[in-house]
């Protein structure tokens, strides 16, 4: 039986390690965005967002931000990793 992470990585055409890195960066960005919106004087979340976007781009994907978590895009398709 294939794990969910393996199935997502296979669908994306990336390794499980790359998926884990992408998810870790996405979690960091989500936490930074939440902090930025809820805490006065919190640092800007742009660096964490850029880290997700740059890593996704290196894997051949674009990124949309409909909320705190990114949605990957490629060839007009959207892939939710959460």
Predicted confidence (pLDDT) per residue in 35-59, tens digit: 999 999 999 999 999 999 999 999 9
Domain extent listing, the chain = 20-80
Ramachandran angles phi, psi of 38, nearest 5°: -115, -15
pTM metric for this prediction: 0.91
CA distance 68 to 34: 8
Task: Using alpha carbons, list the distances in angstroms from residue 78 to 15, 19, 68.
Answer: 19, 16, 16
Predicted confidence (pLDDT) per residue in 1-33, tens digit: 779 899 999 999 999 999 999 999 999 999 999
Q: What residues does 82 pair with on adjacent strands?
A: none
């Amino acid at each position: 039986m294939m794990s969910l992470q393996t199935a997502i990585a296979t669908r994306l055409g990336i390794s499980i390690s790359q998926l884990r890195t992408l998810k870790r960066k996405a979690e960091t960005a989500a936490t930074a965005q939440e902090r930025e919106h809820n805490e006065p004087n919190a640092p800007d979340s742009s660096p964490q967002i850029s880290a997700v976007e740059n890593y996704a781009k290196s894997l051949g994907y674009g990124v949309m931000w409909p909320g705190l978590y990114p949605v990957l895009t490629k060839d007009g398709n959207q892939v939710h990793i959460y």
